[in-house]
Amino acid sequence: MKNQKNKYSHLTAIERISLSLPAQFLLAKNLLEGKILDFGCGLGNDVKLLQQKGFDITGYDPYHFPQYPKEKFDTIICLYVLNVLFSEEQANVLMEVSHLLKPGGKAYYAVRRDIKKEGFREHYIYKKPTYQCIVKLPFKSIYLDEFYEIYEYRHYNLQNNSSHNCLFCNPHKNLTILAESATVYAIFDGYPVSKGHVLVIPKRHISNYFELPSKEQSACWLMVNKVQTILSQEFKPDGFNVGMNVNRDAGQNMMHASIHIIPRYKSDTVGARGGIRYVIPKS
């Protein structure tokens, strides 16, 4: 799958002397709590103004403030970022924000609602082609007008997801979400084969991975790539087993599709002996 990027996305950042409207709304509603991250902060105006008001807030932007955060946050704001990104970049932002959010924390996404036509147009300040698209998220909407909408996000295991009597549709609150996108989440396995064993699980309640729509299959593998990167940084394994069980005759007990990502270490014996033939557990 080709990874497309909008190389002009940073050219939508402009100087302002007052808080952005979404930041004003979050401030007025007392939703900016604890340690805060402004993800995709642009030139950092909201960060500076909120710091002046006494908030413990950090800014990250891959172009303007490229020092990537190394800690978790109680509150993350992501304002007017997703509208200037292609779909894979949007998914990556959702995954990164979910990973940087503390368990029990909340993230807020502001997206524009005044976009009339999707595509490239010349930016009125920078005179460069800037991409704009309409974004809809499967999270709780807490504000909407003709100019913008704000979504509130909590980790998947803290949401009300489904009436299905399925542990993958309604994962236990005490489990740790590693990352999440619009259609997929990754969670540490409750019965790990090795340290860092993760399940990548589509949110759609379907037992056979191969019956997922192709876009959701692609989203699963974007998540696998993200999980592999996170696990490599945090656990430093010597290898990985990646695989799935499809149908009961292949060892599938939980009739909801999932992909196992199992870190392997030099001290392991099973993985080295037979690889994936012996290590993908029943699920």
How far apart, in Å, are the Cα atoms of 180 and each of 14, 22, 64, 185, 275?
29, 23, 25, 4, 28
| Domains of the chain: residue spans and CATH | 9-154 (3.40.50.150), 161-279 (3.30.428.10)
Q: Which residues contact 136 (CB under 8 A, 6 or more apart)?
A: none
Residues 137, 166: contact at Cβ < 8 Å?
no
Average pLDDT, the chain: 90
Alpha-carbon span 273 to 269, nearest angstrom? 6
Q: Which residues contact 211 (CB under 8 A, 6 or more apart)?
A: none
Residue with the bigger pLDDT between 271 and 233: it is: 233
Beta bridge partners of 260: 199, 243
Model-level pTM greater than 0.85?
A: yes
Could you identify the residue written with the tokens 């996305």?
9
pLDDT digit string, tens, across residues 23-82: 999 999 999 999 999 999 999 999 999 999 999 999 999 988 999 999 999 999 999 999
pLDDT digit string, tens, across residues 169-181: 999 888 889 999 9
Q: Which helix (H) or strand (E) holds 93?
A: helix 87-100
Residue with the bigger pLDDT between 35 and 267: it is: 35
